[in-house]
Amino acid sequence: MRTEPDYLRAGRGIRSWLLTRDHKRIALMFLVAVTLALTLGGAFAMILRTKLLYSGPWLIEPLTYNRLFTLHGVVMVFMFMIPAIPAVFGNFALPMMLGAKDLAFPRINLASFYVYLAGAALALWGMIHGGADTGWTFYAPYSTTTPTDVAPVALGVFVLGVSSIMTGLNFIATTHMLRRRGLRWHDMPIFVWAIYATSIIQVIATPVLGLAVGLVAIDHALHMGIFDPALGGDPVLFEHLFWFYSHPAVYIMILPAMGVIAEVVPTFAKKHPFSYKALAYSSLGIAFVGFLTWGHHLFVAGISQFDAAIFGVMSMFVAIFSAIKVFTWIGTLYRGSITFNTPMLYFFAFVYLFAFGGMTGIAVATTSLDVHWHDTYFVIAHFHFIMIGGTLTAFLAALHYWFPKMFGRMYPERWGLVSAALVFAGFNLTFVPQFLLGNAGMPRRYYAYPDRFHVLNVMSTLGAYLLGAALILTLVYLLASLRWGKPAPANPWGSRGFEWRSPSPPPAHNFVVPFDPAHGCYAYDRPPPDEAPAVET
Amino acid sequence: MNELLRRILHLPAQSSSVAADIDALHYTVILATMAGVTLAAAIAGVFLVRYRRRTTAVPLTPRIEVPLWFEVVAYGGLLILFCAWWVVGFAQYREIETAPADAIPIYVTAKQWMWKFAYPEGPTSQDALIVPVGRPVKLIMTSRDVIHSFYVPDFRLKQDVVPGRAETLWFEATEPGSHDVLCAQYCGLRHSLMRAQVVALSAPDYARWLDAARAPLELPGAKGDGQGLAEDGRATAAERGCLRCHTTDGSPFIGPTWAHAFGQLRHTADGRDVVIDEAYLTESMMDPRAVIAAGFPPVMPSYQGVLTPAEVSAIIEYIRSLRDAAPARAVPSPAGPIAFPPPGDTPGANP
C-alpha cells in the first residue's frame, strides 16, 4: 500500500496555504474567515441587545446603534450566512462526495476566497471610516441621501456577491463534469443536490443584487436620481430589485443547511432516507419557486392587490417544499438505529426551530396578518429562527459532523452535547420573546421603545448572552481539540457516505483508493464496504 | 377565549373595525402551526427514544421509502390548508386596502421625524390625529423625504408612506380613546421616537374639536398666546419639532442646545469659530448643512419653505431670550395647538 501525507501536511509554510489550490485547504481558510465574521457580527448583536436592556439613551448613541444594526446585518448575511456552509463544507465535501480530486476550477476557487476577503475588507473599511446607517436592506431614498458612508459598504456587498457567484459556478461545473465514473445523479448524496440548487440561485440572483446596491452607491455619490423621487426616481423599484435577490438569498442560506441535515440524519439513524427523491427535488423546487415570492416583502409598500395575491400563493407553495423535507427527515428516523452524538442533537434542535420558523413564515405570508407584523420584531424573530435556528444550527452540526474528517481529531462529545443544549436554550430565550414583542407591536430598528416592551426586551437580551456564551464555549473546545483531541479514525460515525471512505484527514487528492459508487452512500441495509486504508500520519 | 388568547400572545387592544377578525385568523393560524410543530417534534422525539441503538454492534436497517400516494395526499392536504388561510387572509387584505366611499379624507405628511395631519375643513395638527369614532377615515399619505410607515398596533394596520407617491390607508375606530402611531419603516436617527397619537373622539366631541381647531388658524402666524414674539417662537419651535433635537436646558442632544447660545462663538466641524447671531441662525434653519457644529451629526433637515419669515423671526427671538436663561429642566415635547384627552398608553421614554 502506497502511503502519502494527508492534505494538512502535504505542504509546509504559509505560501503552501495562501497559494493552495486544494479545495480542502481553501475550505479551511474560508472556515477561519467566516468564523471571524460570525464573531464580529455576534459582537455587534451583543452590543445591540445590551443597549435594549433600557429604552432610554445609554451605552451608545442613536447613530452608533443604527450603524451597528446595519453592520450586524451586512456582516452576518453577506460574510457569514451566505458563504458559511457552501464555501466551507460545500468546498470541503462536495468534490469528495463526487469522487473528484478537486473542484472543476481550483484557481477560481482560490480567487473566490481573495475576492471574498477584498469585499469584506472594503465593507469593513467603510465601517471604520464612517459606517453606513441604512440597515442591511439599503432602502432608498434613505440610503441615497444619508450623510454616512454608504458607498464602500454597498460596494463591499457587491464584491462579496462576485465571490458568491464564482463559488456557485464552480460547484455547478463540478457536479456536471467531475462525478466519478458510475456515479449517477440519483446516487449523489443529498448534500450535493442542496449545494447544486444553492449554486443556481447564487448564479442567477446575485447579479440583480449587484445591480441594486451598485445603483444605490452611484445614486449616493452622484445623485443620479435612480431611486430618489426628489430627482425623478422610484424608491419602490429598489425594493423590488433588492428583494428579487434577497428573498432567494434566504434559500441560499437555508438550502445548504438542509443538505447538512440530510447527511446527518441517515448517518446517525443508520437508515436510508425516507424518500431520496423528495429530498433531492424539493431543493430544486425551493430554488425555482423561491424566485417568485419576493413581493411578500412589499405587502404594505403599496403594491397592487393582484401582485399581493400572486406573491401570497407562491409563498405557500415554497413552504410546502420545506414541509416535505421536515416530514422526510423525521420519517427517516423510523426503524433506524439511532445514536445521540452532538450533530444529532443539533438535528433535533434544527427540526424544532426550523419547523417553528417555517410555520411562522406561513403566518406572515397570510396577507392580512402580515400587515400587522411587517417590520416588527415578529419578522425579526421569524427570520432569526430560520437563519440562526436553521442555518447556524446546521453549520454547527456540520462542523461537528465533519470535524474528524477535516482535522483528523475528535471533539469532546460531552462538551458538544452540553453546548448544543445551551445553544438551543439560549436561542429560544432570545427569540421567543421577540415573537411576542412583534405581536405587541414593537417595530424593528428601534433605539428607544415604549415602556410596555421592557420586560420582553430584557428576557431577549439575557437569552442572547446565554447563546453567545454557548458559542464561545463551542469555539474553545473545538480549538482545544485541534491539539488535544483523540486521533480520529477514517469513519468514526460508521457512515456509508462517500467522503468517509477516505482516511481522516484525507490525502491531498482525496482518496487513496477510489470508492465504488455501487455501494450507495445511504446503503444501510447492506454491510459496509471495506474500511478505508490507513495513511502515514 | 378571545381575551385569553390576546393576552397570551401579547396582542394590543382591538380598537378598529377589522382588528377582531384579523386576530381570529391570527389565533387559528398560530394555534394550528404550533400544534403541527409540536406534533412533528413529538413524533421525532418518540422515534429517537423508540429506535435508539441498544447494542454496540451496528445492525442493518431496512430500506423504507414512503409511498408516493401518501406523499401526494399529505402534501396536497397541507397545501390546501395553507391556501385556505391565504384565501381568508387575502379577503381581509382586500377589505383593509379598499376604503369605503364615504370615508373622511385626511391628508398626512410624514417627514423626519414627525407626522403632520391636514383636514379638509381647514385645521392642521402635528403628531396628533383626531378622528371621530364609528366613521371610516381615509388617510392620504405622502412623505417629504424618506420612506416612513404609519403603524397603529391597536388597529392592526400599517402602510408605508413613500415619497413621490400617495398611499392610502383607511380605518374605523370603534371606541373613544388614544392609540400609539409608530413609524415602522426605518427612517434615520430618530426613527424610534417618530411617534404620534390617534385620538378617537365621540361624534359630538369631534364636532366641537373641529370648531375649536378652525378658529385660531384663521390668523396665520399667531401661534402663541400673545405674550410677545419670544413666546410665539417657543410655541412654533415646539410645534415644528425643533425641540425634539435642541434642548433649552443646556444639555446637548441630537443638536446643540439653545440655552446660553446666542452671541457665543460656535466651533464648527471644519475647524472655524462663528458667532451665533441672527444671520447664522437663519442660515442654519434654511441650509443646515452649510455650517455644521463640531461634535454633532449633520442630520437636521432644511426648513426652507416650511417656516414662514414670521416664524423664523419668532424662533430667533426665542433663542435670544434663552441667552441668560437660568438652567432649568425643560422636557422637549411637542406642544400641539389642540388640547386632546390624555393618552392612555403614552410612549414612556422620550429622552
Cα nearest neighbour of A452 on chain B: B348
pLDDT band at B331 (very low <50, low <70, confident <90, very high): very low
Dihedral-angle region of residue A302 (phi above 0 means left; psi in -120 to 50 means alpha; beta otherwise): left
Residue B180 contacts residue B345 (beta carbons within 8 Å): yes
- pLDDT of B335: 36
Cell readout for B212 is 375649536
pLDDT at A188 over 70: yes
Among A315-324, B211-220, B316-325, name the most confident range: A315-324
Q: What is the DSSP letter of B93?
A: H
CA distance B236 to A524: 79
CA distance B20 to B14: 6
CATH of the domain at B311: 1.10.760.10
Cell readout for A166 is 464564482
Same domain, B202 and B111: yes
pLDDT at B337 over 50: no
Residue that terminates a domain, selected from B168, B199, B217: B217
Cα nearest neighbour of B160 on chain A: A301
Strand partners, A409: A487
pLDDT band at A383 (very low <50, low <70, confident <90, very high): very high
Interface test with A, best of B66, B186, B304 (most A CBs within 10 A): B186
Cα nearest neighbour of A493 on chain B: B58
Mean pLDDT in residue range A414-432: 96
Contact check, Cβ <8 Å, B147/A299: no
- pLDDT of B215: 60
Mean pLDDT in residue range A19-35: 96
CA distance A245 to A227: 17
Closest CA to B340 of B233, B136, B194, B202: B202
Domain spans, chain A: 24-501
CA distance A505 to A461: 40
pLDDT at A289 over 90: yes
Query: Mind listing the pLDDT tens digit for each residue in B63-93?
Result: 998 899 999 999 999 999 999 999 999 999 9
CA distance A76 to A78: 6
Contact check, Cβ <8 Å, B61/A309: no
CA distance A97 to A60: 48
Cα nearest neighbour of A144 on chain B: B146
Contacts of B67 in chain A (CB under 8 A): none
Same domain, B250 and B268: yes
pLDDT band at B345 (very low <50, low <70, confident <90, very high): very low
CA distance A103 to A111: 13
CA distance A198 to A165: 11
B347 domain-assigned: no
B17 domain-assigned: yes
Fold (topology level) of A24-501: Cytochrome C Oxidase; Chain A (1.20.210)
B351 domain-assigned: no
Contact check, Cβ <8 Å, A269/B61: yes
3-state helix, strand, coil in chain A (%, to 5): 70, 0, 30
- pLDDT of B339: 38
Range of the domain at B274: 220-321
Strand partners, B128: B197
Cell readout for B156 is 392592526
Exposure of A21 by Cβ count < 10 A (0-12 exposed, 13-18 middle, 19+ buried)? Answer: middle
Query: Mind listing the pLDDT tens digit for each residue in B304-320?
Result: 777 877 788 788 888 88
pLDDT band at A3 (very low <50, low <70, confident <90, very high): low
Residue that terminates a domain, selected from B183, B217, B251: B217
Same domain, B277 and B193: no
Contacts of A337 in chain B (CB under 8 A): 51, 53, 58-59, 61
Same domain, B211 and B269: no
Contact check, Cβ <8 Å, B44/A331: no
Backbone angles phi, psi at A6, to 5 degrees: -75, 170
Same domain, B80 and B139: no
Nearest to B25 among A62, A145, A366 (CB): A366
Contact check, Cβ <8 Å, A330/B34: no
Query: Mind listing the pLDDT tens digit for each residue in B106-159?
Result: 989 999 989 988 887 777 788 889 999 999 999 999 898 999 999 999 999 999
Instruction: Give how many domains chain B has, as a whole number.
Output: 3
Residue type at A436? Answer: L
Contact check, Cβ <8 Å, B30/A363: yes
Among A138-152, A429-443, B300-314, name the most confident range: A429-443
Residue A355 contacts residue A385 (beta carbons within 8 Å): no
Contact check, Cβ <8 Å, A272/B149: no
- pLDDT of B241: 78
B332 domain-assigned: no
pLDDT at B246 over 90: no
Cell readout for B202 is 365621540
Contacts of B165 in chain A (CB under 8 A): 229, 236, 302
| Radius of gyration from C-alpha coordinates of chain A | 23
B57 domain-assigned: no
pLDDT band at A384 (very low <50, low <70, confident <90, very high): very high
Closest CA to A437 of A52, A42, A63: A52
Contact check, Cβ <8 Å, A440/B90: no
Give the pTM. Answer: 0.84
Same domain, B270 and B180: no
pLDDT at A356 over 60: yes
H or E stretch at B160: strand B157-161
Same domain, B174 and B112: yes
Contact check, Cβ <8 Å, B92/A229: no
Task: Look over chain A and give the mean of its residue pLDDT values, rounded to a whole number.
Answer: 92
Mean pLDDT in residue range A71-100: 95
CA distance B85 to B88: 5
Same domain, B111 and B75: no
Q: Residue B274 to residues B245, B257, B261, B263, B269: CA-CA distances in angstroms?
A: 21, 16, 12, 10, 11
Closest CA to B173 of B149, B142, B197: B197
Residue B280 contacts residue B291 (beta carbons within 8 Å): yes
CA distance A201 to A224: 30
Minimal Cα–Cα distance from B220 to chain A, Å? Answer: 29
pLDDT band at A220 (very low <50, low <70, confident <90, very high): confident
Interface test with A, best of B15, B85, B302 (most A CBs within 10 A): B85
CATH of the domain at B177: 2.60.40.420
Contact check, Cβ <8 Å, A351/B185: no
pLDDT band at A279 (very low <50, low <70, confident <90, very high): very high
CA distance A220 to A226: 10
Minimal Cα–Cα distance from A4 to chain B, Å? Answer: 31
Strands B195-201, B128-132: pairing is parallel
pLDDT band at B346 (very low <50, low <70, confident <90, very high): very low
- pLDDT of B221: 43
Contact check, Cβ <8 Å, B61/A337: yes
Q: Compute how many other C-beta atoms are within 10 angstroms of the C-beta atom of residue A179.
A: 19
Under DSSP, is residue A291 helix (H, G, I), strand (E, B) or coil? helix
Minimal Cα–Cα distance from A167 to chain B, Å? Answer: 33
Contact check, Cβ <8 Å, A367/B184: no
Q: Can you tell me which residue has the cell 413581493?
A: A295
Under DSSP, is residue B243 helix (H, G, I), strand (E, B) or coil? helix
Contacts of B164 in chain A (CB under 8 A): 229-230, 234-235
Among A500-504, B54-58, B250-254, name the most confident range: A500-504
Q: Residue A173 to residues A206, A508, B66, B175, B280: CA-CA distances in angstroms?
A: 18, 21, 32, 64, 65
Cell readout for A385 is 429562527
